Homo-oligomer: A and B are copies of this chain.
């Protein structure tokens, strides 16, 4: 059994990791750290885990993470970059669910995240953990930068078009809608039920941290840097991201076939039949990204609809998928979960 530690297990990505790992079959959860909640049984904070997780939150000192085979960081940005080096030196593999290692241009990262990077040398080593793009590199990696939720949905939606060179990459539009759990389990006013319920709004229109991450991923596939307008919206959903993507076709291709071929052997990307409109709930609780392709009225604008569960394929599920690859396990181990509908 692979020995697993989790740093920062009190947030939504932490509890979601535990939900998945508790029934994974190939791992043993050995420690979950939280300075603030050390000593509290995990299942007291999250009764959904009663009978599944018997651990208590522990301090980093108690946790002895260096004895783990792999450690997940389900922490705020800026923590993993301080602690990853020591773990790697101890032979522990590291999967960071935060943003510390996602952006290869350290100066760019520092601009968007407003802090100095503590381990710039690791940024170069880290592998961006989007298996549908980087499967082989992930298998060889020690340090995984697990993608953001918006970047997962948007890249999976745009990449087939960009890789095939069939769209005008100068003016891509990603209109994205996220459930409120994407903001995490922090006490904040704007994500209160009475604020976010029965309400809809855009945010971060002038610039969102996921923009450079998405752009970096799309640029890799494009001969010239892409021009991308990215507008995220806060939606009265608990879980779910719906990305509505717009691009202009420069060649008359069979877009449906293009997507089906691109994801032919990708277990966690489901290209739906032509004409479909994927619902966020159709992936609730699962690691699947469902995509549908449209050309409204047969024009040259292609509309891609891409949905994921932000806490699974957009965070903890993708992290487990990466872990499976890191350790040579079947890619879908522990992720064979039927979405919860309704």
A interface residue numbers (CB < 8 A to B): 12, 15, 19, 22-23, 46-52, 171, 173, 175, 177, 179-181, 183, 185-189, 191-203, 205-207, 227, 229-231, 233, 235-240, 242, 244, 246, 248, 270, 272, 275-286, 290, 294, 296-297, 299, 301, 303, 305, 307, 311, 336-342
Q: How far, in Å, is A57 (CB) from chain B's closest CB?
A: 15
- Given the known interface contacts A205-B277, A277-B201, the answer about A236 and B237 at a Cβ–Cβ threshold of 8 Å is yes
A7 CA to B233 CA, complexed, in Å: 34
Interfacial chain B residues near A284, Cβ < 8 Å: 48, 198, 340
**A192→B192 contact, CB < 8 A:** yes
Interfacial chain B residues near A50, Cβ < 8 Å: 270, 272, 282, 290
Q: How far, in Å, is A8 (CB) from chain B's closest CB?
A: 15
Choose from B47, B173, B237, B290 the contact partner of A47 (Cβ within 8 Å).
B290
- Given the known interface contacts A193-B192, A202-B244, A341-B46, the answer about A23 and B336 at a Cβ–Cβ threshold of 8 Å is yes
**A279→B201 contact, CB < 8 A:** yes
**Copies of this chain, how many?**
4
Interfacial chain B residues near A188, Cβ < 8 Å: 187, 192
A305 CA to B229 CA, complexed, in Å: 14
Interfacial chain B residues near A200, Cβ < 8 Å: 177, 179, 235, 237, 240, 242, 279-280, 307
Residue of B with least CB distance to A180: B193
Interfacial chain B residues near A286, Cβ < 8 Å: 48
Interfacial chain B residues near A338, Cβ < 8 Å: 19, 22-23, 48-49, 52
**A206→B294 contact, CB < 8 A:** yes
**A238→B187 contact, CB < 8 A:** no
Scoring A205, A237, A286, A339 by chain B CB atoms within 10 A of each residue's CB, the highest score goes to A205
**A342→B195 contact, CB < 8 A:** yes
Interfacial chain B residues near A281, Cβ < 8 Å: 48, 198-199
